[in-house]
Structure formats: structure tokens, C-alpha cells
Structure 1
């Protein structure tokens, strides 16, 4: 039986966690099921009125012909890239060095599909337009992640996306959107999801990240692409006998939260300013472009953990439950704003950051 560290225990006991939508526990699903008729028919191996209606709703939202629900985004994206590689007869795709496919999927794309990845750009910045224009490799598909999570949720200018899309179409390269957090970029771009997705041949979105559902993803594109996706979904074991815990929670929380992304974005800008007002603290980006950003604190983990543990106990505000430490002794973590932030009284939040600044100024 594992024992929580004092740091994690203090975070869990804090009355006001700043990120996300609250604790991810059974209540996430119970809240959805309590709203439903007990006699509602389940889906059956990916078919049924409920799931098909939701898929049609998501296709319309994304401005695509068709959409299909997957139990995971990992499955959906590998399948998307496999389809484009088969269509082009080329076993190469390009994406950022810190793409989810490259660093979090145990080389699934390579081992399961024998697809080679071409890494564009540098790890600490976005892919640049000139790097795409000058790319020498013959690729089937280019994957763009919006926002680029591992570098603080950064985004390229919309005009650059338009230029990338035009280049790919002229060269016959398929353009796929890793839009796990697509909803979160819309306030920055001031575009609808359909307007943004029109630049891409295929699109993936997640329902457990910014939306806060149980799990699940949508893959969208034209009719021929989705027809092939259904075959590959079956091959991957994605046609579970019932997917209703996933797509019903996706639908419920999508309606609850998709329209709040502008609010979350504004709150992220406010919170980043509070972090940046403290000694030893910087955010990436300095001014967020979505509702998520990264926080860097110039202290080693063994010094910072007890400081934050005491802060949580004193103020009731929980900043984060984990710390990543670089070789330079700088700790970092990710903040993603959801419903929880608005529940923190402003005076409590202000006091917490005043105390954080004070203790960090003494820790230099």
C-alpha cells in the first residue's frame, strides 16, 4: 500500500486547487449518469442512435463530412497517419520533436505501422514555416499540434497555418491536426473550430483534457477517410461492445464547457501574471495564448517541495501536485485552467501569491 508524500498529501487536502475542473473521481461519471434516463439504449460495437448522433454533432462542429468516436487519441492518431501513408504509398510522416506520438506512445507508430517519423524544428520552440518549406524528405503527412503542449501551449500565427496548409496542398502532402486541445486555441485565433479545421485534411480532438470527460476522442475527415478509419478501429480493438461511459460523458461535458474556453483563457492570463510577480518564477509563455502554460521556479526540488507543502497548508490554495526538475535545478509544472479557478475567492488567491513571493524571496 503506497503512502502519499507530504507534498502530494498537502495538495489533496488543499481546499482550492488552481487547475482543471476539480478532482477526477467517480463523480465525473456519476454526474453524467444522473442526468440520463435509465432506459436509454446502450451503443453496440460503435453503432446506435446515441453514438451516431454524437459523431454527427462533432463532424458538424469541426466542419468535416464525418467523424468517428475512439476510446483513445493514441489509437485515433496512429490510424490517421497510417491511412495517409497507405494512400500516398510513403511510410514517412513529419512532426515536432515533442509530439505525443514521439515521446509518449512507446514508438507505437513505428512498431505497429512501420512508419518513420521525420522530426522538424527544435524541441524548445515551434516548427517554423521555412523548415516546412525547405523540408527535403518525401512525406505522406505533416502533423501540427495546436497548441504545442510540451513547450507551454504555444501557437503559431493563423497566417502561418494558412501558408502551411497551402504548401501541403500544392505538394500533395496531407495535413493532420493534433487538436487534443482544439477548443482551447479558438479564443486566441478568434476562429470557429470549422474555420480552423478547414486548413487540415484530418482532425483529432480529445474529451478528457480541456473538456474533462472520462476518456475518448473524435477523428474527423472526409467520408472515404472515415470509412477506412472504421476498419482500422476494428483492427486495433477499438470497437468495444459499449462505449457509452465515454461518449456520453464527452457529450455532457462538451456542452458544459466548450463555450467557457474564452473565460478560461482570460483567467490563465490573470494567473500567469500572479506567478510572474513572484521571485524566482517565470511562465512559458510569459503571457499565455491558451488556458494552459508552464511555470518555472528557479529552485531545486528538495527546497521547493517543502515550501509549497507549507504554502498549501497555510493558504488552502494548491498550485500543483508534482514537480519536474531540470539538470540546472529548476523545477517546472503545467497549469491548465478549468472550472476550479473561478471558485477560489480573490482575496484567498491574492494572499497565497503574496506568501509565495515572500517565501521565495527568502529562499534565493
Structure 2
């Protein structure tokens, strides 16, 4: 959306994904540092050790993508039980965004749990009518606005899986973003799971990549599968340096992003014909639902951007025949938007929604 790109202020994210992401990280380096090579070397090993400590696991492995990391994790747990069946949410990333990679590459069958509009509950897990090797939980559940189960439910699911010999894997692409809501540390949450994946480019803000963590035995097996998947590039240091730099830059701001997301959601919910999901965010992200078709909403927003200089989103999606929606994810940019201009923008949005 041209008007969005030309806005004076953008509300979501950390800023443009340009080469400065790497430049800033390299600028922090002092002295000589050799490149990693095929998964070995100080730069990658130090970062893996750091992330293992942050997550409270014995070891961690850096992967070039979360898609690769999670398929590898589920393959390891299936091989352990000699059982090619796992369970996850119907809107799990592996189910809707990976071209059936888990099924085609690893011949693993998924059991889909829960209605697609809500999170997985303990009853859903207890009522699985076939044996599974692993259960995957995504925190937060992105495709339904970043909803979360309460922490007691997580503890109950974890205890049940351990009792039944079911491995529990965490899709924690946005793990750090939900910690302020749970009021728990990463180690406490990850302690409920046998394996954990985190993204290093979403809330953290690096270039790309992922970390897979678990026991030493698990991570050693994951290194073999990483090589089989072609994940051992000759060098991964651009991804690692940016991930390490921006982790330190952003990790202490997750409470700020969470509080700002709740404030921003209130602005949206005060507008005619607009609601957020969840109504009160449980992380730095949420979805905005509008009672206007995609094309109408795009035109309405473009005019508002031109009048106010405030860009809310550049990506509007269809939501049924008469509605639209888009995702909001708070980062460094929100605090730079003048509150007066932000309030004026939402007053314009409310006015335009009423006059449609």
C-alpha cells in the first residue's frame, strides 16, 4: 500500500528490514572473530550456549529457519517412539504454511486438535483417540490473534503428557512476547516442554533464523537432521550476529511492547465497526477485525494515512464476505508516534467507519 509506505509514522514493528540490521550488529564487534563453518566455531557455539541458558535447556542449536527446526524436532520424537503420528492445532504453521513438508518429507501424520477458533485445552489432549509421539503447542496461537491458554492449563497438559509418555514441543516463535502476560521466566515456561523452538527475527528483530533447544541427546540428533536438511550453510554468522545483537537490544522491552499493545487495542476498540482479537491482548500482537470488505478498508485506510501521516498497516486481508482483518505486532516504532497525532488518526478512522 503506497500510502502506508509514505506515512510519517508506522505503528507496528521495529522498523524497515534493511541492511542496517546487520550493520548495527557488526558495529558492536571488537577485535578479530572468525566465521563459523558448517555449524562449528566460536560465533555459533557461544550463541547456542547463551540461548540454552536463556531457555533453561541443556543445549541449543541454531537453524536457518523455524520450518526446518520444527520438522526436525517432530521427526526426532517420532523416531524415538517408532510412531509417525503427532498432534497440533488446525492452524499450526506446519499445517497451513509449509506445503505439507512434515507429511511429504518425513511421512508424519498430524492429528488436528480443537476448533480452529480457540486454543487447545487439556480435554482436547485427553480425548485424542489414537496414540501420538508428540504434541505441539504454539504460544501464542498466531492465526487466531495470538490467543493463549492460561498457565495452569499448560502445567496440566505438561503433566498429562509426561504421565502418558507423550513428548511436548513448544512452538515458541514469539515466546518472549508472552512472558509478561504469564509473569513467568523463559526457563519456567520451557521447563514444561521437552523441546523448544524460538524465532530470532520476529520480536527479537534479527535477519532470520531459529533456535531449537532441549536435552544434549536431542540436540545432537537435531544437528544430524539439520545437515540432512541442508541447514549447515558454510557460514551462518550474519544471522547469528544480528540475532545476538537484537536479542540484547529488545529482550528487556517485552513488557513495554505488551503494555503498548493493550493501549493500542483500546484505540481500535473505540472505533465504530472495529474489534480486536483478543479484545485485551495477551502479548505484543493481536488481530484487528473490521466490518468492511478488504478493498473498502484499504481505500479507507489509505485516505486516513494521507490525512494524518499515521500508518497502521500495509496488509489487509479478507475476513468473510463482508469483513477484513489485519495483524498488529508492536515493537520499537510505537513509542515514537506522537500520542496527539495517534489519537487524531483513530478519530479519523472512527469517523470514516461511521460514514461508510
Cα distance, 1:28 vs structure 2 = 1.4
Q: Hey, what's the Cα distance between the residues in 1 that align with 2:278 and 2:320?
A: 21
Following superposition, the deviation at residue 38 of structure 1 comes to 7.0
Residue pairs, 1:68-87, within 5 angstroms: 68-87=61-80
What's the CA shift for 1:153? 0.4
Aligned to 2:292: 299
Is 1:328 the equivalent of 2:341?
A: no
RMSD: 0.8
CA distance in 2, matches of 1:29, 1:53: 18
Tell me how far apart the structure 2 counterparts of residues 124 and 196 of structure 1 sit (CA, whole Å).
23
**Residues 159-178 of structure 1: pairs in structure 2 closer than 5 A:** 159-178=152-171
DSSP 3-state at the match of 1:294: strand
User: Is the counterpart of residue 182 in structure 1 residue 175 in structure 2?
Assistant: yes
1:211 alignment partner in structure 2? 204
Q: Give the superposition deviation at 1:37.
A: 3.8
- 1:32 Cα deviation after fit: 1.3
1:57 to 32, 35, 50: 50
Q: CA deviation at 1:26?
A: 1.5
Aligned mates of 2:246, 2:22 — CA distance in 1 = 10
Deviations along 1:212-243, whole A, 9 cap, x unmatched?
Answer: 10001000000110110010010001000000
- Runs of at least 5 residues in structure 1 that lack an aligned partner in the other structure: 1-7
User: In the aligned structure 1, how far is the partner of 2:58 from the partner of 2:241?
Assistant: 22
Conservation of the 8 A alpha-carbon contact between 2:92 and 2:138: yes
Q: Report the TM-score, using the length of structure 1 for normalisation.
A: 0.97
Alignment of 1:339 with 2:332, yes or no, is: yes
Unaligned 5+ runs, structure 2: none
- Number of corresponding residues: 356
**Alignment-derived partner of residue 5 in structure 1:** none
Q: Among residues 245, 255, 258, which one is paired with 2:248 in the alignment?
A: 255
Query: Is 1:228 the counterpart of 2:217 in the alignment?
Result: no
Distance 2:8 2:325 in 1: 22
Match of 1:139 in 2: 132
CA distance, structure 2, for counterparts of residue 38 and residue 70 of structure 1: 26
1:21 is aligned to 14
* DSSP 3-state at the match of 2:211: strand
The partner residue of 1:198 within 183, 191, 195 is 191
**Bigger CA drift: 143-152 or 296-305?**
296-305
**TM (normalized to structure 2)?**
0.99
- Give every structure 1 segment of 4 or more consecutive aligned residues whose post-TM-superposition deviation is greater than 3 Å: none
> How far apart, in 1, do the equivalents of 2:72 and 2:318 lie?
34
For residues 93 and 24 of structure 2, the distance between their equivalents in structure 1, rounded to whole angstroms, comes to 30
> Which piece of structure 1 moves more, 71-80 or 28-37?
28-37
Contact persistence 2:56–2:187 (CA under 8 A): yes
Q: Does 1:92 align with 2:85?
A: yes
